């Protein structure tokens, strides 16, 4: 199941079926499952303002995970950098994803602060980063550009 979100009137974020499946594999559908997350990897389409998420990194042993928190280790950065080099600099870092143990996930103050920090300090191509949260029944996505506040994206039919 591919997901498409409206970023602006003329641009979209597309999350491929493979990337959606990778994230959904870690949805917290049981009480004992811990939050999980990683980074989004994909491409900025030529002659378009659309962005495609092709894959994601998945939880690493060095991550800190509990039922209601997730702290991403630097292993995700190393994986993203390796994939960037191996793809001849076409598979780019596009943002961060994680899970929440709720049907329809909402962003917390901790999430929003993490996203603000990512946009302010991480090196990335394009003008913005994307931040999916995977709930048990729904994936919601937020975005942040340097000169804009965090905002939620609309899922397109």
What is the per-residue DSSP string for 55-124?
Answer: EE----TTSEEETTEEE--THHHHHHHHHHHHTTS-SEEEEEEEE-SSSS----HHHHHHHHHHHHHS--
| Catalytic residue check, 35 | yes
Closest CA relative to residue 19, chosen from 70, 69, 58: 58
* Residues ≥6 apart with Cβ < 8 Å to 85: none
Choosing from 21, 35, 102, 152, the catalytic residue is 35
Rounded (5°) CA angle 67-23-64: 35
Tokens of 37: 């997350």
Q: Give the residue numbers annotated as catalytic, written as ranges.
A: 35
């Amino acid at each position: 199941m591919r997901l498409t979100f409206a970023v602006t009137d003329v641009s979209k974020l597309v999350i491929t079926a493979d990337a959606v499946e990778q994230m959904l594999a870690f949805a917290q559908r049981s009480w004992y499952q811990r939050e999980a997350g990683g980074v989004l990897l994909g491409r900025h389409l030529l002659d378009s303002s659309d962005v495609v998420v092709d894959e994601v990194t998945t939880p690493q042993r060095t991550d800190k995970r509990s039922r209601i928190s997730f702290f991403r280790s630097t292993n995700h950065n190393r994986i993203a950098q390796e994939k960037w080099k191996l793809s001849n600099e076409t598979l780019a870092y596009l943002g961060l994803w994680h899970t929440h143990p709720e049907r329809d996930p909402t962003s917390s103050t901790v999430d929003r602060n993490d996203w603000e920090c990512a946009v302010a300090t991480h090196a990335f191509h394009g003008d913005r980063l994307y931040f999916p949260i995977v709930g048990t029944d729904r994936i919601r996505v937020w975005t942040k550009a340097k000169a804009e506040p965090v905002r939620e994206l609309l899922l397109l039919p």
